[in-house]
Chain A
Amino acid sequence: MSTGTVRIALVGNPNCGKTALFNQLTGGRQKVANYAGVTVERKEGRFSAPSGRVLQVLDLPGTYSFDATSPDEQITRDVLEGNYPGEAAPDLVVCVADATNLRLHLRFVLEVKRLGRPVVLALNMMDAARRRGIVIDVAELSRRLGMPVVETVAVKRDGVKALIDRVDGEIPEAPPALPDDPASRADLHAQVRELLAATVTMPRATAELDDALDRWALHPVFGLAILAVVMFLIFQAVYAAGKPMSDLIGAGFGWLGEHATAWMPAGPLQSLLVDGVFGGIGTVIGFLPVILVLFFFILVLEESGYLPRAAFLLDRLMVSVGLTGRSFIPLLSSFACAIPGIMGTRSITDPRDRLATILVAPLMTCSARLPVYALLIGAFIPTRRVLGIFNMQGLVLFALYAAGVIGAMAVGWVIKKMRRDRSEHALLMELPSYRLPKVRDVAIGLWERGMIFLKRLTGVILGLTVLMWFLSTFPAAPAGATGPAIDYSFAGYIGRGLQVIFAPLGFNWQMSVSLIPAFAARETAVAALATVYAVGGDGADGAGLAQALAANFSLASALSLLVWFAFAPQCMSTLAVIRRETNSWRNVGISFGYMFVVAYVASFLTYQIASWLT
């Protein structure tokens, strides 16, 4: 075949660099990281080869064997066998193997070969293999395997040229398909040993650097201390580096709003632009630096290979609260956003552990809560120093994060006690080699995250801001009305209606009405409050919102609202992703229900106790 589309599937063990290879081939920007199970769905890209043919590339989740025990391994097997709905079997399978870890990876190559499809083997991470003095007789390996073998370095720009030339050429002949029976599977290890003995010389089984770092990182005492320090520094850095930049942006937008609309006559439209658009967006966009700082650390940790070490250290603790060490990585991602976190749970092979992780993931303090926390903390918590070194505001923020974590542990424990299935569920987790994070990968990751945030902002958040403004402005107060105009608006009616439910938590009607847009995206609560108070004529605009809040509700109400945001079932997108990932409305109902009850009770107690104390 000289023209037309050639369909290629990339397969291999977890964390062998399939996605990096995919990105190099297609110019894609799929997420890569240094732990097993980053790719949980099939991803597709295409590129034109030098010959002019179009090559369509499928990136599949990593698989240890075809005795699939997790959903993503099942996907890989179905696609290769042509059993995946709506997906024809690929013309060519590119099997990717980590050249530094051939003993494990070659076994899977042999398993793929048994399927009887045309296969090319890509020996990836050849640069790391050479650094470690590993010598591979590629020609001999190719002869013994009966398939073409090419060397690749997926993280380098020109590292995939040999592979492109190879897949652009003649499709190799398919090996004979062999039956899948246990006896022949057991035999694969013997074949791997034979192959290795004949084609690979290895001075040392592991990288010396890994051994040296792991002596500290996995030490029973120092390892935990390092983990605690790393986590603490991240959250300090978020506040120390992100907050000043945020304030600057907020002030800039306030100034812009005033000057850009100075020529307009005062009236509803000017109020929409100044208060709604510039005030609202300025407040929310101001949180971009905070979110980027948080994502920067998460990306660096992901790339470095440290996260599975943290999962190793915490496994026992996680098991005691009904989770697994593997839950650590999705839960850490949930600090940025619960949506990638919940999607990342697919790397948890066990359905029971996976569901428990999905149910507690939304309790992790996601970055969308930060704008709300920062606003309320800035307005109500004094900037006192505690014990000389700690900032009071920082401590409250830390307490809110801790409340999420402790809440998640409590919920996990309850789930563990309630479930009937007490059987054993496995960990079996591979720890990858350490790797220096690549500036390019981190930069791409930050760019993507920033763009997602900004797109949400311009779409959902802007729309909701305008809607909130409309609801707060219309209908106008009737002639002869005595109260502020907003009392007669739609927002006023809706807010007072909701207040019946939320009054025991100390929420006034303005807070109650802001919960509606917060259900679409939490951070819009800030813009909504800004709009409601500005339109209500309480003198709030941009930076003045904090003062307006401080003047309009009590410390007890503010604390209650903070606690509500820590636990409440919010953000439709999260509930939608739970529905998609678990394929069950029942689980959405359970998530929503338990979080509503927990948030309501916790906010009620906070308000009552704080009112009594102050």
Chain B
Amino acid sequence: MRLSDLPKGATAVVDRVDDAHASDPIAQRLRDLGFVAGEPVRVVALGPLGADPLLIQIGSTRFALRRNEAARVMVRPEMTA
């Protein structure tokens, strides 16, 4: 599923980042920031209007991503708890 589909507070593991179009700089930047396979992520908060942007914690870092940015990140929901 997509990172943008996760509810607030959910945790998941990154599977991959899809390019929205050929040589997508936003997807490349996401990979540089650490959105790579096996990395755990958590939805910390959602913006007040239209639940946009999403605040994503990855490692010790919190990144604000807009919905269509987060939609590039494919995740596997965590099965624990």
* Chain A residues close to B by CB (< 8 Å): 64-65, 67, 69, 100-104, 107, 185-186, 189, 202, 205-206, 210-211, 214, 218-221, 223-224, 308, 311-313, 315-317, 319, 325, 424, 426-431
Contact = CB atoms under 8 A, between A and B. Distances in A.
Contact of B69 (A103, A319, A428, A431): A428
Nearest to A426: B26
A312 B50 contact: no
Nearest to A111: B32
Contacts, number: 111
Contacts of A221: 48
Nearest to A98: B60
B50 A214 contact: no
Given A107-B34, A426-B66, 13 more contacts: A67-B28, A69-B25, A101-B59, A101-B61, A103-B34, A202-B60, A223-B48, A311-B64, A312-B53, A315-B53, A431-B55, A431-B63, A431-B64
A428 B63 contact: yes
A312 B62 CA distance: 11
Given A64-B32, A426-B66, A316 B26 contact: no
Contacts of A429: 63-64
Given A107-B34, A426-B26, A428-B29, A205 B63 contact: no
Interface size class of B (residues with CB under 8 A): 20 to 34
Give the most central of B39, B44, B64: most A CB within 10 Å: B64
Contact of A315 (B26, B52, B62): B52
Looking at chain B's contact residues, is the secondary structure mostly helix, strand, loop, or mixed? mixed
A104 B61 contact: yes
A572 B39 CA distance: 51
Contact of B32 (A65, A312, A325, A431): A65
Interface string B13-35: 00000001000011011111110
Given A312-B55, A424-B20, A428-B69, A67 B47 contact: no
Given A103-B59, A424-B20, A426-B26, A312 B52 contact: no
Nearest to A185: B32
A318 to B, nearest CB: 10
Contacts of B32: 64-65, 67, 107, 185
- The 10 A-B residue pairs with the shortest CB-CB distance, nearest first, are A103-B59, A316-B49, A220-B48, A218-B45, A65-B32, A431-B62, A429-B64, A426-B26, A189-B36, A312-B64
A192 to B, nearest CB: 8
Given A218-B45, A427-B69, A428-B69, A315 B31 contact: no
A104 B49 CA distance: 29
A95 B5 CA distance: 37
Contacts of A64: 29, 32-33
6 contacts: A101-B61, A185-B32, A189-B36, A211-B44, A223-B48, A428-B33
A307 to B, nearest CB: 12
A424 B26 contact: yes
